[in-house]
Copies of this chain bind each other. A is one copy, B any other.
């Protein structure tokens, strides 16, 4: 089986991406990060998803991005609530973590090279998203080009490495339908930027609202809300 490294945050999108990698026949190696995120509860979700989907290995790497600051997700700034999701695309919210996807992809690249994996999967999405620069197709393409020059692949003529972002042009509703068709149990996932101690979603941050919009548009209930006894918004 061909190996692939799959970035797994524990949210909806990365769980769906993992299911896609499996459906395509890859042996998945899941990679998560304890990076100082205030929603560290997502790591419990990542572990549950990795176990339910039967990954070859699940690594959690510590990298304290709080040392740099600059984000509501790792710093002292409050997570914004009830934001207008139809805002200008060039307005980047304070939940953006500087260079986060580049840090995560670079560590995935290190593992992929050691494993001799051919693909790295990342669940970024440029449609129903928060406007982060490192979620756009042109970024992913530039990253892939760089990655092939960074590693042995670029020197010795090994097989090229691919950065796969299968959700990048899908709406949240399509992601959910695709995941459900592949048997993803969304009750195991968590999306909230500011969850309660028990993992209860706030329902008001960008991430909760994008998730809710997705389930409404997909015409199905979010099993996570059912689990917390919350009726759909």
Complex alpha-carbon distance, A92 and B61, angstroms? 26
Complex alpha-carbon distance, A138 and B134, angstroms? 22
Contact partner, A133, options B65, B69, B102, B151, Cβ 8 Å? B151
Q: Is the CB of B114 within 8 A of A133?
A: no
Q: Is the CB of B133 within 8 A of A138?
A: no
Whether A149 touches B138, Cβ cut-off 8 Å, given contacts A67-B59, A98-B109, A114-B69, is yes
Q: Does A230 contact B (CB under 8 A)?
A: no
Q: Does A85 contact B (CB under 8 A)?
A: no
Q: Size band of the A side of the interface?
A: 35 or more
Q: Is the CB of B150 within 8 A of A92?
A: no
Q: Is the CB of B90 within 8 A of A100?
A: no
Q: Main secondary structure on chain A at its contact with chain B?
A: helix
Whether A155 touches B110, Cβ cut-off 8 Å, given contacts A102-B150, A142-B145, A142-B149, is no
Q: Does A113 contact B (CB under 8 A)?
A: yes
Q: Does A22 contact B (CB under 8 A)?
A: no
Q: Which residues of B contact A101 (CB under 8 A)?
A: 150
Question: Nearest chain B CB to A194's CB is how many angstroms away?
Answer: 21
Question: Nearest chain B CB to A160's CB is how many angstroms away?
Answer: 13
Closest to A114 in B: B70
Whether A103 touches B106, Cβ cut-off 8 Å, given contacts A64-B61, A69-B114, A146-B143, is yes
Contact partner, A151, options B69, B98, B149, B156, Cβ 8 Å? B98
Q: Is the CB of B152 within 8 A of A146?
A: no
Q: Is the CB of A146 within 8 A of B149?
A: no
Closest to A153 in B: B133
Within 8 A of B (CB), among A87-114: 89-90, 92, 96-103, 105-107, 109-111, 113-114
Q: What are 9 inter-chain pairs, A to B, with CB distance below 8 A?
A: A62-B64, A98-B110, A98-B111, A99-B106, A100-B110, A134-B151, A138-B149, A139-B149, A143-B150
16 extra interface residue pairs, beta carbon distance < 8 Å, beyond A59-B67, A133-B155, A134-B151: A63-B63, A68-B114, A70-B110, A90-B155, A92-B155, A97-B110, A98-B109, A98-B151, A98-B152, A99-B150, A99-B151, A103-B106, A106-B106, A136-B149, A142-B145, A143-B150
